[in-house]
Amino acid sequence: MAGPRQAGASETSPLLSPSRDGDGESPDAGTSAGSMGQVILLCCARAIDPLAFFTIFPFANQMIAETTGMKESNVGFYSGIIESLFSVTQMLLMIPWARAADRIGRKPTLVLSLAGLSVSSALFGFSQTLGQMIFLRCLAGVFGGTVVTVRVMISENSTPDTQARAFSYFSLANTIGTVVGPLLGGALSRPGVIPQFPYALPTVAAGGIGAVVTVACMFLGNETRAPGESGHKAATASPWTTAEILRSPGVRPVLYIYGHSMLLAFAYTAVSPVFYFTSPKLGGYGFSPFFISLFLGGSGIAQTTWLLLVYPSLHKRLGSGRVLRGMCAVWIVFLAGTVGASLLRHYGETVAFWILAPLALMLGSSVAMQLTAIQLALDAVSPSPAALGTLNAMALAIISCLRAVAPALFTSLYASSLKLAIGGVYVFWAVLGALVVILMIALRWLPEQVERPPQKPDQTRA
């Protein structure tokens, strides 16, 4: 009969395949943690996933229309499918990539997935049929397992004292990839450099960035799996199953809170450019493309400031639970400020609008800290460091699913709200506010280990 699960494994245990009865000791994560240079290198790898995902967004509709010659009314449907296939494929293969990291090692898995993602992303711009676009987008999703490997490698390169800063960089890398991807796609499409392939340059640029990071990880990255965990042992030992992890205390509420937090983030990210463009008479800001890019860029800068300068010390003092609750309060104030600014814009109060709108944006950008806090909460509820990879793969699969459906869902909801006779766009903001309230209620079920501020390494060994 198999013995009970052991909770004392080190963070260098396999992603998915620890022994049920193994009593060997692996190196202390605190003493084997890599330098901050390793964390930064891993964060560069983290940025490639959103970079590859978002690069095609600015030109996908036009590329489909020109390549296939289909009716304009049908283009949106197929562009939505192509944009989402990356996340759908990624979701299906997240756990298999984590298992591969146990069989062949973290570093080889990371390099392989980065290389495949870079090549498939670069080739997308050379597509000449709709079928080729679909195939290459799915292929990019197949190699989209970098994020789960990076996520666990950062945990293995961190100590309780350094994990808040490390995951601040991790979240920042995602933001950078999300911003740089559309910039590449918009700035480099149809440049005339490759006349027969007018959309190849942005995808080649994205693939080239990925290739540089791949080479850097190949030569500069360190393997974080414990030396004693051979591929054969990892493959034959009894793994933590998803059912066992879901039955562990605190896992289900944290997974739900993770997904709910990401749903809010995806909703606002998808709708904000459209809201900025919407005319003031319909409740939007009525911005030109210049001011839209200014606000989007300002939000990215503000997020960077919150994540790098505020979050590490805030997490050390308060812990993940209090940060999560505080960010819910910020969400409410931010949404109220956004509605207030839109009303000022509607009634022509220009000076008051230009005071309130940037302040609301800067405050609202701080909710990026919520996404970092929930990542650390996920680490805290892992029943064993040996189960961390499976748990992360489950969470990231949920996120991939949400990323595939949330943008279309919430932009459609926003467009529908504009057609309402009463309330209009404010109905949409009320829906987001209701989602925040539901999240606040769900936080009542946070487990005790998430509520506590992080312990120092000597406390965790006591």
CB atoms within 10 A of CB 33: 24
Tens digits of residue pLDDT in 249-260: 999 999 999 999
* Average pLDDT score over the chain: 83
What value does the mean pLDDT take over residues 209-224? Answer: 93
What is the identity of the amino acid at 295? Answer: F
Predicted local confidence at residue 366, as pLDDT: 94
Residue 201, pLDDT > 50, answer yes
34 or 112, higher pLDDT: 112
What value does the mean pLDDT take over residues 41-47? Answer: 95
14 or 323, higher pLDDT: 323
7 or 63, higher pLDDT: 63
Which residue in 326, 419, 407 sits closest to 367, CA to CA? 326
What value does the mean pLDDT take over residues 396-404? Answer: 87
Among 34-48, 114-128, 330-344, name the one with the lowest average pLDDT: 34-48
Residue 69, pLDDT > 90, answer no
CB atoms within 10 A of CB 347: 11
- For residue 209, give every residue at least 6 positions away whose Cβ sits within 8 Å of its Cβ, in sequence order, or none: 48, 51, 118
DSSP state, residue 249:
T
384 or 133, higher pLDDT: 133
d(CA 384, CA 440) in angstroms, rounded, equals 27
Say what the alpha-carbon torsion angle 155, 156, 161, 163 is, to the nearest 10 degrees: -20
Predicted local confidence at residue 238, as pLDDT: 61
Q: 118-129 in b/e burial notation, b at 16+ Cβ within 10 A?
A: bbbbbbbbebee
> Is the CATH code 1.20.1250.20 the one for domain 31-222?
yes
Predicted local confidence at residue 330, as pLDDT: 97
The proportion of the chain whose per-residue pLDDT surpasses 70, expressed as a percent, equals 86
Confidence tier at 48 by pLDDT (50, 70, 90): very high
Residue 25, pLDDT > 50, answer no
**Per-residue CA distances from 234 to 113, 171, 172, 267, 341 (Å):** 20, 29, 32, 39, 56
- Provide the residue ranges of all domains of the chain, joining segments of one domain with +: 31-222, 242-455
Tens digits of residue pLDDT in 264-312: 999 998 888 888 888 898 899 998 868 887 888 888 889 889 998 999 9
**Per-residue CA distances from 76 to 70, 80, 452 (Å):** 11, 6, 47
- Read off the pTM: 0.77
Among 20-29, 108-117, 162-171, 426-435, name the one with the lowest average pLDDT: 20-29
Among 198-202, 342-346, 424-428, name the one with the lowest average pLDDT: 424-428
In the CATH hierarchy, which top-level class contains the domain 242-455?
mainly alpha
What value does the mean pLDDT take over residues 10-20? Answer: 42
d(CA 411, CA 423) in angstroms, rounded, equals 17
Residue 230, pLDDT > 70, answer no
d(CA 427, CA 419) in angstroms, rounded, equals 11
Confidence tier at 196 by pLDDT (50, 70, 90): confident
Among 14-28, 164-178, 316-330, name the one with the lowest average pLDDT: 14-28
